Chains A and B, each alone.
Chain A
Amino acid sequence: MQRKDILNLIIIFMFTVLLTELSNLDLLQYRKFRRLSDSNCIRLIPQLGARGNILDRNGKIIVDNKISYDVMILPQELDNIDLVLNKLSRILGVEVKELKVAFKKNFISTSVPVTVAKNIELKKAIALGEYKVEEPSIIIMPKPLRHYPYGTLACHVLGYLNEIDRWRLTRLEDYGYKTKDIVGFGGVEEKYDYYLRQEEGGVSIEVNHRGKLMRVLGFQAPQNGKDVQLTLDLNIQKIAEEALLERKGSIVIMDPNCGEILALANYPNFNPRIFINQQPNILNRLFNNPESPLVNRAIGSSYPPASVFKIVDSCAGLELKKINNSSIFLCQGSTMIGARRFSCWDTHGPQDIIGAIAHSCDVFFYKTGLLVGAQNIHDYALKLGLGRSMGFELPYETSGFIPSPLWKKINKFQGWFDGDTANLSIGQGDCLITPLQAAVMVVPFANGGYLVNPYIVKSVGGLDLSIKKRKLVALNFRKSTINIVSKGLRKAISDSKGTGNVLSTLSVAVAGKTGTAQVPHGTTHAWFVGFFPFDKPKFVICVFLENGGPGYAAAATAGKIIEEMDKQGLFS
């Protein structure tokens, strides 16, 4: 081969190299480079809309938004960073060091504003606005922030806002959620986040290599989130929370005729405001608190129902005709079941069903329970809404638990004994219910035999949802059953020896049942479930005090609430 041919080949080779790389860039990596090219010159300037407000049933604001101000610095306009930060620290009253750290941490590129201080007060923002005249690199960015005028009020119903976590992001990505989005955690904020959520608008602009605006490519107005109206009544909610007196527990008040929750109070609680400032030590204290203040106890944790469960026994016995209005069992303070002695909390003598409910006689219900059988008790408990999730609107609802012989066989490899039935009859043992379930359980006795679907969101964005949610399901119990149990519940208050006699002094006729749940460690849980006014029930109430002592304490708390409601004229 001659030298000139080799040279020819070299030239051909050189051009082949060029063409290969050209096809690599233009054909294989085209998408990547087109994206890079776009990101070079297209900038988005976001404009925030406001998240939807949360209102009470009367349209009063529970949560809304307040404008707050972020301070940002545009590095490319900056001459002397130290000078500006010094001045800023004097105006804001923040250490220069903190500002410097924030500046370093948030710096992305010279053309992107850097946030150095968040949520400053209006006064400081105005002071800064004056300084901005001489220092154009400062940007004061107004931004709507969650505002909680009532502090901790109804915090468990509302939930809080925080930066989206990994788990939520993977679930919600398809709905347009992005990293760093602020989303609701717990409560209505989480469940109705999609509606409450504002739509971020913004201007997309084309910039040149210096980041200078060339032209506006598009504008999308930010959309405010939709308002969510709750069924809560702010006044009743306030009364309920005050009545808890910083004792652990929860209170549920609902309308038995439609299922609307009027109040849902829990303690310990938290202030959703602390998630706005994001101070790590305060948040850590909250998350690590052993009392778990973030848990919505009314729906999220379950407890042994104790004597409250006797309502289930009564229904099962009466419906299955194992007992009737005139059945009488003799209470001698205790009874033998199998080889074990099961005691009553008192010696009641002969008791009929109404008296037994009123005095909460254990022996009567041991015997009724044994007549009915464990499986039937289990079935009737489920009919009354226990032991299963209600599909309530707030997240993290627990279903509670009602044991049955089959369950014991499968899970514990043990047979079911009469002792288990006796334990179940007085709501002890493995039996667990939530305060909301307890409230729902007494609803049929307040509205003449209908189970309701409890709900807490009345309307979203002005669209009334209550018609869809209002579901009254007939229990198909006999009228007499409902009447007898109601009478028993009324007698528990009106009878001088009734367990809820403390409520008899109220101006309004109350019916209800107390419960004192034994726990493995510590003081007993106190329960009270009831409804009022007895003639034409408008409210169902459940008071639960965790380790709150005897059921009497819960009844007394309920009494305070009813009294206060009466005083404020909330019965009409």
Chain B
Amino acid sequence: MRNSFFMILILALLIAISGVFSIYSSTYQKEGVWKDIYMRQILWLAIGLICFFVMSGFNYRKLWDANYFIYGLALFFLFLVFVLGIVRLGAQRWLKFAWFNFQPSEFAKLAVIIFLARYFSRKSVDDTSLLSGKFGIFQGLILPFIFVAVPMFLIIEQPDLGSGIILLLIFVYLLYLTNVRLKYIFTFLIFLVLPMPFFWHFLRDYQKQRLLVFLNPNVDPLGAGYTIIQSRIAIGSGGFLGRGWLGGSQSQLYFLPESHTDFIFATFSEQWGFLGSLVLILMYYLIIRQGFIIAQRTQDTFGKLLAYGISLLLSIQVFINIAMNMGLAPVVGLPLPLMSYGGSSVLATFIALGILVNIDRTRNVF
């Protein structure tokens, strides 16, 4: 019964600790604030662990009730970013607090998952069947999409294309899981794909450039393609065993930009090689697998959908980030959960994992 708790905790800690090592290795030579950035990450991890323990003891059913409040709070913060956001790295994603920057989009993803899980399930403990099978196109598709589209629009407008796309993907996956009719889903996908050329005009220049570069990194080897090329070199030069901790010229000599945030996988891979990366990816897979197992054995539909949503959130983020590091996906600016430097991401992930553990724990109460 406590298996999933320990397994998820240990795996998450292992990944997070290797993240701290990678952050240290890519910043310890820099000057000023950067030097101690790993200390801050450790602090965030500690806070994250507290959140994890708190959430694992906090009955997730209460989220059902708090659902509108959570959703509203997320929207509020997103709107705040929209209005006040400070410019950083070409993106306005932060709210500046006393000594840290708060990134609402990380929490908004979770809020949207909670909202969707609530939307597609009933409160009644006795009737655990899904509603969506009976839903028409308005209730099954259009209404929930509006609820997703508002935060999605705010996030994309920040601009944070990666998180926006993740919201969309999770929405589609959850629609699929909740037995919404396939023809609705396909209609939705077609309506999504058709106006793509139109959306193109709404993308920022750098976003367009990143997409073009993804198609061919050599278009602009010193500009937008630079990151992909350097990241592939970093991963590839690691070889089988890697160049050792604090070794490797790509991350150590700053050829690799964003080496402690979005491209931390490349930093890790250069130093630990194929073997280390394999283990890392397997650890992520095991956590996600735990999430799926929990979702499958949960009878409560809200818990089930919530567990699926959280696992999907993790897997999509991990996949897109690592694929982007390898040049398989466009550079969209997504952190690697648990590894990348950033308090909001760490906290949101630990909270999500705490909820996951709690779902498994509460399941047995019924």
Q: B-contacting residues of A (Cβ < 8 Å)?
A: 3-4, 7-8, 11, 14-15, 17-19, 21-23, 25-27, 29-30, 32-34, 36-38, 40-41, 206-209, 214
Q: Tell me the residues in window 287-335 of chain B with beta carbons closer than 8 Å to chain A beta carbons.
A: 288, 292, 295-296, 308, 312, 315, 319, 322-323, 326, 328
- From A14, A19, A32, A214, B253 is in contact (CB under 8 Å) with A214
Nearest Cβ on chain A to B330's Cβ, whole angstroms: 15
Does A4 contact B237, Cβ atoms closer than 8 Å?
no
Closest to B254 in A: A209
Does B274 contact A27, Cβ atoms closer than 8 Å?
yes
Q: A25-B235, A29-B236, A34-B237 are in contact. Are A18 and B323 (CB under 8 A)?
A: yes
Give Cα A21–Cα B323 distance, bound, in whole angstroms.
Answer: 9
Closest to B311 in A: A11
B residues in contact with A209, CB < 8 Å: 253-255
Give Cα A71–Cα B236 distance, bound, in whole angstroms.
Answer: 39
Does B315 contact A22, Cβ atoms closer than 8 Å?
no
Does B253 contact A206, Cβ atoms closer than 8 Å?
yes
Closest to A42 in B: B249
Give Cα A27–Cα B285 distance, bound, in whole angstroms.
Answer: 21
Nearest Cβ on chain A to B223's Cβ, whole angstroms: 14
Nearest Cβ on chain B to A279's Cβ, whole angstroms: 36
- From B177, B233, B285, B296, A40 is in contact (CB under 8 Å) with B233
- From B230, B236, B249, B312, A206 is in contact (CB under 8 Å) with B249
Asked if B250 is an interface residue, CB under 8 A from chain A, the answer is yes
Q: A30-B240, A37-B233 are in contact. Are A22 and B253 (CB under 8 A)?
A: no
Give Cα A18–Cα B320 distance, bound, in whole angstroms.
Answer: 10
Does B328 contact A33, Cβ atoms closer than 8 Å?
no
Nearest Cβ on chain B to A213's Cβ, whole angstroms: 11
Does A8 contact B249, Cβ atoms closer than 8 Å?
no
Q: A-contacting residues of B (Cβ < 8 Å)?
A: 173, 176-177, 179, 230, 232-240, 248-250, 253-255, 269, 273-274, 277-278, 281, 284-285, 288, 292, 295-296, 308, 312, 315, 319, 322-323, 326, 328
- From B236, B296, B323, B328, A32 is in contact (CB under 8 Å) with B236
Does A33 contact B278, Cβ atoms closer than 8 Å?
no
Q: A3-B176, A14-B315 are in contact. Are A37 and B234 (CB under 8 A)?
A: yes
Does B236 contact A18, Cβ atoms closer than 8 Å?
no
Give Cα A544–Cα B251 distance, bound, in whole angstroms.
Answer: 72
Does B237 contact A15, Cβ atoms closer than 8 Å?
no
Does B328 contact A34, Cβ atoms closer than 8 Å?
no
Does B281 contact A41, Cβ atoms closer than 8 Å?
no
Give Cα A34–Cα B240 distance, bound, in whole angstroms.
Answer: 12
- From B292, B295, B319, A15 is in contact (CB under 8 Å) with B319
Does A4 contact B296, Cβ atoms closer than 8 Å?
yes
Top 4 A-B residue pairs of the complex, sorted by shortest distance between their CB atoms: A33-B236, A37-B237, A26-B274, A25-B236
Give Cα A29–Cα B296 distance, bound, in whole angstroms.
Answer: 40
Closest to B322 in A: A18
Q: A4-B177, A7-B177, A208-B253 are in contact. Are A22 and B274 (CB under 8 A)?
A: yes
A residues in contact with B326, CB < 8 Å: 18, 21-22, 25
Closest to B281 in A: A18
Closest to B273 in A: A26
Does A19 contact B281, Cβ atoms closer than 8 Å?
yes
Nearest Cβ on chain A to B245's Cβ, whole angstroms: 17
